[in-house]
Amino acid sequence: MLAKGAGWLVEQGDAVGIAAGIHHLHATPSAVEHMRQATSAMANEFLWSTVADRFLRLAGTLVRSNAQTSSGSFVSAARW
């Protein structure tokens, strides 16, 4: 899913990389929409409905957060 554009790969424990990824998603609503569309398109192909559902919920949270605030408070709302 990541290879086809449904998200970004960040090393586990890389706080700077994680922060940069979150900032990119928050600052670029089109990136979140692309992630959502790619996940929706691949959900049936991979039969990973649970994983796809988590990606879609996260994307929805980010879209709502982008619409509500320009501060960093959205991070606490973007929980799995």
**60 CB contacts (<8 Å, ≥6 apart)?**
36
The alpha carbon dihedral of 18, 11, 39, 51 has a sign of negative
Tens digit of each residue's pLDDT (9 = 90 or more) over 13-61: 888 888 888 788 778 888 878 877 887 777 777 666 677 777 778 777 7
What domain count does the chain have? 1
For residue 71, give every residue at least 6 positions away whose Cβ sits within 8 Å of its Cβ, in sequence order, or none: none
Give 32 or 8, the one with higher predicted confidence: 32
Question: pLDDT category, 78, cuts 50, 70, 90?
Answer: very low
Specify if 40 maps to a domain. Answer: yes
Q: Which sign does the torsion angle of CA 63, 69, 75, 80 carry?
A: negative
Q: Which domain holds residue 59?
A: 29-77
- 6 occurs within a structural domain: no
Q: What pLDDT, on the 0 to 100 scale, is given for residue 2?
A: 60
Q: Categorize the per-residue pLDDT at 80 as very low, low, confident or very high, splitting at 50, 70 and 90.
A: very low
Q: What angle do CA 60, 68, 42 make, to 5 degrees?
A: 15
What is the model's pTM? 0.46
